[in-house]
Amino acid sequence: ACHITLKPQMGANDNQRWVLLFNPSEQACSFQLPAGPWTRVLDSAAAVVLAPPVWAAEQAQTGAIDAKPRTVLALVQTDAGAAPAGNS
């Protein structure tokens, strides 16, 4: 897993925090998300990629997230949904 922060000067419209989760295993696994609400915008196992205009309409996730075998997940958190400073 990796955690990336994009600032507006880096091409993002808002401050964005991304979490990329990789499960290369033949077994499902669970990942603990950093604090705050996260929106799943990419799920390779479900063949789902969401465009930024629909992110706000998606159900936010907190806590742990399950990853199917051999999958990549991308979750995003924008300024509007970001956790308070010091909670990441």
> What local confidence, expressed as pLDDT, does residue 16 receive?
84
Confidence of residue 6 (pLDDT cuts 50, 70, 90): confident
| Contact residues for 59 (Cβ-Cβ < 8 A; gap 6+) | 39
What is the Cα–Cα distance from 78 to 51, expressed in whole angstroms?
A: 14
> Which range, of 58-62, 71-75, 79-83, averages the lowest pLDDT?
79-83
Predicted local confidence at residue 65, as pLDDT: 95
